Chains A and B, each alone.
Chain A
Amino acid sequence: MSFSKIAAVAYYLPERILSDSELAGLHPDWDIARISQKTGIVERRRAGEDETALDLGVKAAERLFAESGLLREAIDAAIFCTQNPDYILPPNSCLAHARLGLRAGIPAYDLSHGCAGFVSALSMADALVRAGMARHVLVITADTYSKRMNPDDRTVQTLFGDAGAATLVTESDTECVGSFAFDTDGSGAKNLIVPMSGARGGEVEGTASPGLRGPKDLYMNGREIMAFALSKVPELMDQSLGQAGLSVGDVDWFVFHQANVFMLENLKAICGLPDDKFVVNMQKIGNTVSASIPIALRMAKDEIAGFGGKILVAGFGVGYESGAAIIRM
């Protein structure tokens, strides 16, 4: 059995920047300063009107091929994780397969997860490699929550940013991806939801708000999400560390889903993590959902001297779904 590793990460951000000052101009009744002081987010990206998560993910993958030098013919499995597919059917992974010119004879999987999506997709890629079914797995994580937001809903407008990321998972002689720990709790589904977005029509009680948010708009109950994350993430971190036989002091870096600064600062304190090993870098791109962890990894690699070694990643959010893993880069 072979192991897997993350061989390369690339990302793509849409060009349009939505700044706090623009939001303040659009919504004079919003206390933008108070919100950004809490979230730490001062800018977020917005996909163009005709630009989708597929486009962002494909552009990230093209960057990955260009930077890594890997021939696209080498890809022998593809995973596309998004909650904003071009269509209910066909799958985004098939569309990306065609757009990227990947070779015939390989599987392509769609995965519908959000802020924990990268960890879930990484576990699938790792499993494919360990099982001997693939040697080079392309993992695309991309989302455009902006397309599901009501323009007047400050809770989500200030927080989320659009982005796409591509991660290359390849076989490895040593274990560089592993110690996965997951949790699923569908009882929290109603706390982060687009009610009328699939086959089940009708509203979901407590999500719509007249003049602010309709049943086709993204709804987020920030209080419930905060309570969930502060409870679950420390548990999963401990489980992952336990599987690896490591303690907090053995880990070189902690890269959690970049939800917002307030959430991360509290998680850092509750988990007892050191400041100088804890990555926070969403302030100028917002919470980029499934793309946030690979973007954070790549930004840290580009901007922090000596970044690498044993890294604990953790994702948490919509579902609820949450997961942690330890990688070596």
Chain B
Amino acid sequence: MDVNEFAVKFGAIVSEPGLSPESALDTLDGWDSLGQVTFIAFARRQFGQVLNVEKMKSAKTVSDLYNMVSGG
């Protein structure tokens, strides 16, 4: 899964279509605790990654999250 495909899937998780890798997380209403719980499960299922929650919360952009789960 490349970063653009990831951005589309992430948009579905936070109910925000049209996101790009550069989209800022702090502007997304859906990036709240429920959205983050959903993303943790997504990361575990799609990438086999057990996320460091504090590190996840410090991410600024969609691309940061992609790098976190893809090891990039």
Contacts and interface: CB of A to CB of B under 8 A. Distances in A.
B36 interface: yes
B38 interface: yes
Given A266-B45, A269-B45, A270-B45, A226 B34 contact: no
Contacts of A192: none
Specify the main secondary structure of chain B where it touches its partner. Answer: helix
Contacts of A35: 34
B24 interface: no
A262 B36 CA distance: 13
A200 interface: no
B45 A226 contact: no
B53 A223 contact: yes
Interface string B17-61: 000000000000000011011101100110000110100110000
Given A223-B53, A224-B53, A230 B44 contact: yes
Interface in A219-264: 221-224, 226-227, 230-231, 262
Specify the main secondary structure of chain A where it touches its partner. Answer: helix
Nearest to B34: A38
Nearest to B51: A227
A38 B34 CA distance: 8
Nearest to B42: A266
A266 B53 CA distance: 17
Contact of A227 (B34, B38, B50): B50
Contact of B37 (A34, A262, A270): A262
Contacts of B33: 155, 222-223
Contacts of A155: 33
A269 B46 CA distance: 11
Given A38-B34, A155-B33, A226 B50 contact: no
Given A224-B53, A227-B53, A231-B50, A270 B44 contact: yes
Contact of A230 (B34, B50, B57): B50
Interface in A6-45: 34-35, 38
A252 B50 CA distance: 29
Contact of A262 (B41, B56, B57): B41
B32 to A, nearest CB: 10
A266 B36 contact: no
B41 A266 contact: yes
Contacts of A230: 40-41, 44, 50
A270 B49 CA distance: 11
Contacts of A223: 33, 36-37, 40, 53, 56-57
Contacts of B57: 223
B71 to A, nearest CB: 17
A221 B53 CA distance: 10
A231 B38 contact: no
A222 B50 contact: no
A222 B36 CA distance: 9
A262 B40 CA distance: 12
A222 B53 CA distance: 10
A270 B36 CA distance: 18
A301 B56 CA distance: 41
B44 A34 contact: no
A269 B41 CA distance: 10
Contacts of A38: 34, 37-38
Contacts of A34: 34
14 contacts: A35-B34, A38-B34, A38-B37, A221-B53, A223-B56, A226-B37, A226-B40, A227-B40, A227-B51, A230-B40, A230-B50, A262-B37, A266-B44, A270-B44
Given A223-B53, A227-B51, A230-B40, 10 more contacts: A35-B34, A221-B53, A223-B33, A223-B40, A226-B37, A230-B44, A231-B50, A262-B38, A266-B45, A270-B45
